[in-house]
């Protein structure tokens, strides 16, 4: 059963305000290529290597966290998100009524958020992040992500830096990242931007640090620091300093230039 949200950003913000703690693990195209064994060994636009071994780990999270047979594992506040359609692969096209939907239905996996509107390029491109960022500015935040991220507008209490997009194939890469977060152990909003490693990290942190949120934010923060130019709209921003500054103002402060 899939729950669709008309305004996902409002849904998330309200739960942050009310301290209704949850974890959100997102499964986008790279995760599904790992699970379905497509494009193995190839690199995504972010430089992540598609790896079947990691695909089994991602599938394990889906089975434990998403099926109706395991409610005791915290399914009520562990949210799973999948895309409406998967990016075209070399072998075939994946659409929402294709292999992914069949796969989820067969395994009786319930996805609470079908499309990660809060954390996809669409919302960022349309300068729709302000409500989310505004709420985060009122909370303690820990960033788990790219070492180049400098999110001064969030004033993170801790930045657990990831040096490579291929944390999932580095020896103990995910384990060491999780360990750093658990050692910190303070109630916070943990914002995870770790590519295909994110779902595994969030799974291992879920309910381990009291009164905390663990949210897969994808690569939305990349745009703020001028990385991730493989997205066409981001590349356009970086080439126009005035446009880029305006975009950041709108997303951070909700200011629209006259």
Could you tell me the mean pLDDT of each successive run of 10 residues in the chain, 258 residues long? 62 92 89 87 86 93 76 65 56 50 74 62 86 95 93 96 89 94 98 94 95 92 85 88 94 74
User: Coil, strand, or helix at residue 54?
Assistant: helix
Report CA torsion sign: 68, 70, 72, 78.
Answer: negative
Single pTM value for the model: 0.88
User: Coil, strand, or helix at residue 77?
Assistant: helix
Domain ranges of the chain: 23-253
Structure confidence at residue 61 (pLDDT): 92
Structure confidence at residue 70 (pLDDT): 54
User: Coil, strand, or helix at residue 93?
Assistant: coil
Pick from 119, 75, 63, 115: nearest CA to 251: 119
Tell me the C-alpha distance between 5 and 117, whole Å: 9
CB 231 within 8 A of CB 225: no
Structure confidence at residue 37 (pLDDT): 85
CB 48 within 8 A of CB 166: yes
Would you state the structure tokens that stand for residue 148, as one six-digit string? Answer: 């180049």
Would you state the structure tokens that stand for residue 93, as one six-digit string? Answer: 């096209």
């Amino acid at each position: 059963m899939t729950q669709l949200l008309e305004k996902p950003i409002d849904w998330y913000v309200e739960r942050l305000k009310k301290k209704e703690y949850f974890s959100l693990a997102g499964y986008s195209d790279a995760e599904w290529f790992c699970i379905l064994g497509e494009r193995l060994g190839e690199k995504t636009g972010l430089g992540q290597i598609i790896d079947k071994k990691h695909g089994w780990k991602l599938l394990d999270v889906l089975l434990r966290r998403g099926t109706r047979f395991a409610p005791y594992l915290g399914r009520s506040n562990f949210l799973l998100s999948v895309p409406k359609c998967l990016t075209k692969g070399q072998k075939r096209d994946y659409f929402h009524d294709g292999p992914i939907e069949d796969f989820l239905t067969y395994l009786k996996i319930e996805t609470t958020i079908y499309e990660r509107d809060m954390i996809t390029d669409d919302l960022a491109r349309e300068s729709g992040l302000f409500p989310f960022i505004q709420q985060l500015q009122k909370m303690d935040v820990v960033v788990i992500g790219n070492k180049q991220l400098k999110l001064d507008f969030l004033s993170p209490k801790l930045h657990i830096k990831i040096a490579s997009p291929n944390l999932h194939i580095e020896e103990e890469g995910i384990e060491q990242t999780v360990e750093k977060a658990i050692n910190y152990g303070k109630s916070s909003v943990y914002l995870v931007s770790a590519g295909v490693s994110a779902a595994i990290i969030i799974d291992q942190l879920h309910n381990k640090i009291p009164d905390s949120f663990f949210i897969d934010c994808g690569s939305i923060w990349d745009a703020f620091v001028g990385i991730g130019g493989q997205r066409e709209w981001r590349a356009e921003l970086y080439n126009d300093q005035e446009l880029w500054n305006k975009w950041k103002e709108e997303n951070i402060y909700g200011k629209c230039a006259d």
